[in-house]
Structure 1
Amino acid sequence: MSEYDEAAVEETVEEDYTSEQDAMAEEDYASDTESYDDAALEEDYDSSPVSTVTESFDVDGDGYEDSTISSDGVTLIDSDGDGDAEAIATDYDGDGISDDLMVDADGDGSVESYASDTDGDGMLDTYESDTDGDGLTDQVSMDTNADGYVDSVATDSNADGYADTVITDYNADGLVDEISVDSDADGTADTVLSDDDGDGFLDTAYTEAVPEGDSFQSQTGQVI
């Protein structure tokens, strides 16, 4: 082989090697770019404010989902299909879950019930009601342990702005553990009936005239 032929061979090999390096570099760049784009898209998706939560309402408790119209965090609820809203739900923080609910069940323009999420856990836990239609709240029901069930009901029966009767389920078993009654509206309980042994019967009564702990339980377990 002549010197000219040997030089030509070496040149060809060098060109092929260089071309292969360029191809590998280009492939690595494309791979890195693709990974970057995927990460960027995933980050944009995660940071998207669009909520995937879907709420449904059954304000009248008939077992059927009520018709709703939502805009800018406010949902109008038509429970009877007459085209007028019987309730308004509001989502203040934009997480897709309503923070309060106002209900006008009879459509007279006055709110009879107001429910709110006071602890921000996404569940309505406080319910204020106007049971006598005078425009003032006279009953407050609360879910104090966030289990989805009401465990405390305070009622103002004489419209003085103070609770006269408070019914409490302390252990979340669905049974009343204590009834406290303020009969003279002085802000202090005059009578307290309690279930001390958890059998579902109020077995102990305390009044201002009777020392705490005295039992007034009949043979059937009912308080006398």
Structure 2
Amino acid sequence: MASPSPARRGPYAKTAERRAEIITSATAIFSAHGYRGGSLRQIAAQLGLSLTTVMHHFPTKVSLLAAVLEQEDAADAGFADRARRDGVVPTIVGVVRRNLGRRELVRMFSIVSAEATYPGHEAHEWLQHRYATVTADYAALIAHDRALGRIHPESDDDTALAGLIITGWEGSQIRWLADDTDPVAAMHLLLTTLLRPSPPEGAGARDSTA
């Protein structure tokens, strides 16, 4: 029997691969120069492509920025399910630890977020929507853990607690980018102080027999 011919990559696979390369390059350029300082021409030069080729996939810089930010959001798919299963504290600490291997993306996100605080910025509405959505999601996860007895925060304002966690998380990332302050240790301290999680099962029994 003749062996089957190897499958050929179709145009869709090649297009998806090219788009991914452009997004990766854009992340690096925006990390180094900010959104306003970076350009489609710089991205094309980094990849050895023509500007026309880049614009075939992303006609404007705004459309490319949207794709970069959407990729960042997609990286956290399943976050809420993990948090409901394992608890909000270990899940957030796990994401912070994972981000240690994504320094360039974290830098890009921090720079673009700072720039997008300006009302006229192309990503301003995205930033406002992101904060509103993430705050509501985290507040729901805090309420879920509270109901299960996993955490015992002194405050009963879940929205305020969620806002403090988001602010502390972004601040710890900036310190890490600036001077390598450990963001995992910082977030663990912040979360345990704010949310006061229950000790692991069996910890009390071990302590009492020490």
TM-score by length of structure 2 reads 0.22
Greater RCO, 1 or 2 (C-alpha within 8 Å, sep 6+): 2
Per residue, is there more strand in 1 or in 2?
A: 1
Tell me which structure has the larger Cα radius of gyration.
1
TM-score by length of structure 1 reads 0.21
